[in-house]
Structure 1
Amino acid sequence: MEYVQLGKADLRISRISFGCMSLGDDAAANETILHRALDLGINFFDTADLYAKGMNEAFVGKALKPYRDKIYLASKVGNQWRADGSGWDWNPRKEYILAQIEGSLKRLQTDYLDLYQLHGGTIDDPIDETIEAFELLKQQGKIRHYGISSIRPNVIREYIKRSNIISVMMQYSLLDRRPEETCLSLLQQNNIGVLVRGAVAQGLLVNKPLKAYLNYSPREVEKAAAAVQSISTNERNAAQTALLFVLQHPAITSVVAGIRTVQQLEEAVGVLGSRKLTPQEMELLQQAVVANKYEQHR
Structure 2
Amino acid sequence: MNHSLARRALGRDGLVVSALGLGCMGMSDFYGASDEADNLAVLHHALDAGVNFLDTADMYGVGRNEELLAKVLRVRRNDVVLATKFGNVRAPDGAFLGIDGSPGYVAASCDASLRRLGVDHIDLYYQHRVDPKVPIEETVGAMARLVEAGKVRFLGLSEANGNTLRRASGVHRIAALQSEYSLWTRDVENDALVACRELGIGFVAYSPLGRGFLTGAIASTDALDADDYRRNNPRFQAGHFDVNRLLVDALTALARQRGCTPAQLALAWLLHQGEDIVPIPGTRRIARLDENAAATRIVLSRAELQAIAGVLASHPVSGTRYAAANMATVNA
Residues 137 and 268 of structure 1, relative CA distance in 2, 3 Å threshold: same
| Among candidates 42, 53, 57, match of residue 44 of structure 1 | 53
Corresponding residue for residue 22 of structure 2: 18
3-state DSSP of counterpart to 2:119: coil
Is the 8 Å Cα contact of residues 44 and 72 (structure 1) preserved in structure 2? yes
- 1:53 correspondence with 2:75: no
| Structure 1 residue 228, shift from structure 2 partner | 1.0
Residue correspondence of structure 1 range 175-186 to structure 2 within 5 A: 175-186=184-195
CA distance in 1, matches of 2:265, 2:39: 26
Cα 1:84–1:274 change in 2 (3 A) is closer
1:270 to 291, 294, 297: 294
Q: Which moved more, 1:16-25 or 1:52-61?
A: 16-25
Paired position in structure 1 for 2:247:
224
Q: Does 1:208 align with 2:218?
A: yes
How much has 1:189 moved relative to structure 2?
A: 2.2
Give % identity.
Answer: 28
Tell me how far apart the structure 1 counterparts of residues 206 and 311 of structure 2 sit (CA, whole Å). 19
Give the C-alpha shift of residue 248 in structure 1.
1.0
Q: 1:6 aligns with which of 4, 10, 19?
A: 10
Q: Counterpart in 2 of 1:236? A: 260
CA contact (8 A) 1:150 1:156 kept: no
CA distance 1:12–1:86, change in 2 (3 Å): closer
After TM superposition, the structure 1 = structure 2 runs for residues 10-159 of structure 1, keeping only pairs within 5 Å, are: 10-24=14-28, 26-82=35-91, 85-159=94-168
Distance 1:129 1:214, change over 3 A: farther
Contact 1:33–1:262 at 8 Å: present in 2 too? Answer: yes
What letter is aligned with 2:141?
A: E
**Alpha-carbon separation, structure 2, partners of 1:262 and 1:19:** 14
Letter aligned with residue 243 of structure 1 = L
| 1:249 to 2:259 alignment | no
Q: Which moved more, 1:120-129 or 1:150-159?
A: 150-159
- Residue 151 of structure 1 and its aligned partner are, at CA, apart by 5.0
Q: Deviations over 1:29-82 (max 9, x none)?
A: 222111100111011111011111111101101112222122211110112223
Q: Structure 1 residues 289 and 9 mapped into 2: Cα distance closer, same or farther (>3 Å)? A: farther
* Structure 1 residue aligned with 2:305: 279
Distance 1:261 1:160, change over 3 A: same
CA distance in 1, matches of 2:220, 2:276: 27
Q: Which runs of 5+ in 1 are unaligned?
A: none
Mapped contact 2:126–2:155 kept (Cα < 8 A):
yes
Cα distance, 1:231 vs. partner? 0.6
Distance across 2 between alignment mates of 1:230 and 1:287: 16
Q: More deviation in 177-186 or 90-99?
A: 177-186
For 1:259, the equivalent position in structure 2 comes to 283
CA distance in 2 between counterparts of 1:10 and 1:153 reads: 23
Measure the CA separation in 2 of the matches of 1:222 and 1:84: 35
TM-score by structure 2 length? 0.81
Separation in 2, partners of 1:224, 1:124? 39
Aligned AA for 2:285?
T
Q: Contact 1:76–1:116 at 8 Å: present in 2 too?
A: yes
For 1:184 and 1:31, how far apart are their aligned partners in 2? 33
Question: Contact (CA 8 Å) 2:9, 2:276: kept in 1 or not?
Answer: no
For 1:163 and 1:210, locate their aligned partners in 2 and report how far apart those are by CA, in whole Å: 45
Are 1:17 and 1:255, in contact at CA under 8 Å, matched by a contact in 2?
yes
**Local SS of the residue matching 2:164:** helix
The answer to whether the 8 A contact 1:246-1:252 is kept is: no
| Residue identity matched to 1:166 | A
Say whether the 8 Å CA contact 1:205–1:239 is kept in structure 2: yes
Moved more, 68-77 or 123-132: 123-132
Counterparts of 1:161 and 1:291 in 2: how far apart (Å)? 36
Give the whole-Å Cα distance in 1 for the aligned partners of 2:243 and 2:163: 28
Alpha-carbon shift at residue 134 of structure 1 (Å) = 0.7
The one-letter code matched in structure 1 to 2:66 is E
Question: Is 45-54 or 241-250 further displaced after alignment?
Answer: 241-250
Instruction: Mark the CA change 1:203 to 1:288 in structure 2 (over 3 Å): closer, same or farther.
Output: farther
Aligned match of 1:288: 314
CA contact (8 A) 2:15 2:154 kept: no
Q: Is the 8 A contact 2:137 2:167 kept in 1?
A: no
Give, in whole Å, the separation in 1 of the partners of 2:306 and 2:93: 53
Q: TM-score, normalised by structure 1?
A: 0.90
2:26 alignment partner AA: S
